[in-house]
Amino acid sequence: MSRNFPNIESPPTPLILSIPNEILHHIFSFLFDLPRDETFIQHQSDGEEYEVSQVLVLRSVCRLFRSITAELDFWYDPDFRFSNLIFPPHPLIEYSMYHYLEGRFLEVLFTDANLVDSLGRRKTDWSFDSLEGLMAVMEGVPLFKQNARVIRLEIIEDSEMMDDDEWHEWPRPGLEFSSHVTAIEE
């Protein structure tokens, strides 16, 4: 059964959605020129405080924003790490838990077929700080195995974790990865 509601108008299209995609792409790209601590926003939900990457907030706005953010250049930077999109390390949580959460985060992120396709086609130089992240990419991005040319794996052990006074400074000042760096180049 259909009802007609002649006095109800559909809401107007938000002005931001009328901006050309190329301009939105340019605007969104400025997020990654900010220092790492400014790329996260804080919000409250159910009395708890959270920090969320602004790019993840943008991706959640609408399909158009999700499509545009999938093409942003930061994904293809050789030093980009997916772990930079999730919460910064905290002294009370072991790195093994962060690595597990990174793997779970990537499983969810890779449900976006456009992002997976774009990463698989365009990204050739990859950096990881956990085996969980590498494994999630190997499983979630089919073209990874075919197109990856450089793979860097830099693992931080729990013993190298920051102390209580340093956890808010990331990356940790003076932290050296040299004893745990593996690079595979073709």
Q: Region 7-30: what's the mean pLDDT?
A: 85
Structure-token match 């990463």, residue found: 119
Query: pLDDT confidence of 183, banded at 50, 70, 90?
Result: very low
Q: Quick one: which of 7, 11, 5, 148 has its CA closest to 76? A: 148
* Amino acid 35: pLDDT: 67
* Amino acid 154: pLDDT: 84
* Amino acid 50: pLDDT: 75
* Residues 35-69: tens digit of each pLDDT: 666 777 787 778 887 778 888 888 888 999 999 99
Query: pLDDT confidence of 179, banded at 50, 70, 90?
Result: very low
Q: Which of 81-85, 89-93, 121-125, 158-162 has the lowest mean pLDDT?
A: 158-162
* Domain extent listing, the chain: 15-185
Indicate the pTM of the whole model: 0.69
Core vs surface per residue 66-101: b (16+ CB within 10 A) or e: ebbbbbbebbeeeebbbbbbbebbeeeeebeebbeb
Q: What is the mean pLDDT of the chain?
A: 77
The C-alpha angle with vertex 137 and arms to 37 and 42, in degrees rounded to 5, equals 25
Establish whether the linkage from the previous residue to 12 is cis, with ω within 30° of 0.
Answer: no
